[in-house]
Amino acid sequence: MTGLSGTQVSSWDELVTYLRAKHAIEDRDGGGIRVRVGDAPEPIDLRPIDVLGAPWLEIVGGLAKQLRHVAPAPILARNFVLPIGITGMLDGVLMVRQLLPLQDLQLAAVDQVLGFLAQAIIEAQTR
């Protein structure tokens, strides 16, 4: 890491240290963390994963738990225009998932994804 005031990290531990300085964080079973971002009513989950032998970061945020009020066609169509990630269903919850390589990970990219997800969660919960 280039330091906590630096611009990038190269490991999960460095990323967690950076995020702990900015957000409320809970440790999760399995090595991940749950991050509270801004005014978002739901936390965002982060965890390190392996993709073809390389370390990656998985970021997942839940948007809607009761999908009977949400039409599926607009959700699927948004996958083509989302600025990050892709939407999908997990245990009846509409989720957005983004993967980023951990090697030389730009902190601005992490902040951008977390900010987008927090805003999307707020908007989804107020509709």
Mean pLDDT by 10 residues, the chain (127 residues): 65 95 93 94 94 94 70 66 69 83 93 91 76
Q: What is the pLDDT of residue 3?
A: 44
Q: What is the pLDDT of residue 68?
A: 59
Q: What is the pLDDT of residue 110?
A: 95
Q: Is the pTM of this model over 0.85?
A: no
Q: What is the pLDDT of residue 78?
A: 67
Domain 8-125 has CATH 3.30.1460.10: yes
Q: What is the pLDDT of residue 76?
A: 67
Q: What is the pLDDT of residue 127?
A: 61
Q: What is the pLDDT of residue 67?
A: 61
37 within 8 A of 118, measured Cβ to Cβ: yes
Compute the half-sphere exposure of residue 127: CA atoms within 13 Å on the CB side of its CA. 15
Element of type H or E holding 75: helix 72-78
Domain ranges (residues) in the chain: 8-125
Kindly provide the residue ranges of all beta strands, DSSP E only, lying in 28-117, ordered along the sequence: 33-36, 44-51, 54-64, 86-90, 93-101, 105-106
Q: What is the pLDDT of residue 63?
A: 81
Q: What is the pLDDT of residue 70?
A: 62
